[in-house]
Amino acid sequence: MIYNMHVEKKILKIKPHHFLDFLYDLAIDNRHDEPNPYKNDNGRLCRAFIDGKITRIVFTPFVDDICRPCKKLIGGNRCIDYFDDVTTSCYGFRYKNDFNYQLDIKLNAALPSVFIFDVEQDMIDVLKALKEKLTNEIINLYLWKRSEREKNTFLGIEKAITVYK
């Protein structure tokens, strides 16, 4: 859920890898209109981002606004979702939460001036900084193989900058 909705600014608290997913989804016009089996807030928040409704952003390596309502979140702070196929065993992680935490720490280390944890930033400033500083190598820290991941992430940044001008 978008927190601080009582104020005029709409602020999204999000994990860096989830934000990269939003950029990819914007590029391929994926509005997540299908039912969400996890009951998380990915679809609603991705649509809000795509529609330019989120003006501020805070990055976190922990539970974010997407995760908060998820049925796999226990006690408000621990995701129990796990990898259940052999393709993930090479990552050395059983739980997605552990893999994602390490991933977000790597993204923060690769772009510390963009993926700043626990600091509120203007969305447009983050997008412009990503346009300037993001590289294919940083995108590939993510490891999830998607069709044309790099190209679509950069296209998503361009589209988002147009939306958030």
- For residue 108, the number of C-alpha atoms closer than 13 Å in the C-beta half-sphere is 18
**Cα separations in angstroms, 33 against 25, 27, 30, 36:** 12, 15, 8, 9
In this structure, the number of other CB atoms found within 10 A of the CB of residue 34 comes to 8
**Tens-place pLDDT, residues 2-11:** 544 434 469 9
pLDDT at 67 over 50: yes
**Tens-place pLDDT, residues 15-33:** 999 999 999 999 999 998 8
Distance, in Å, from the CA atom of 51 to the CA atom of 53, rounded to the nearest integer, reads 6
**Tens-place pLDDT, residues 132-159:** 999 999 998 877 777 799 999 999 999 9
Q: Which tokens go with 153?
A: 């992430």
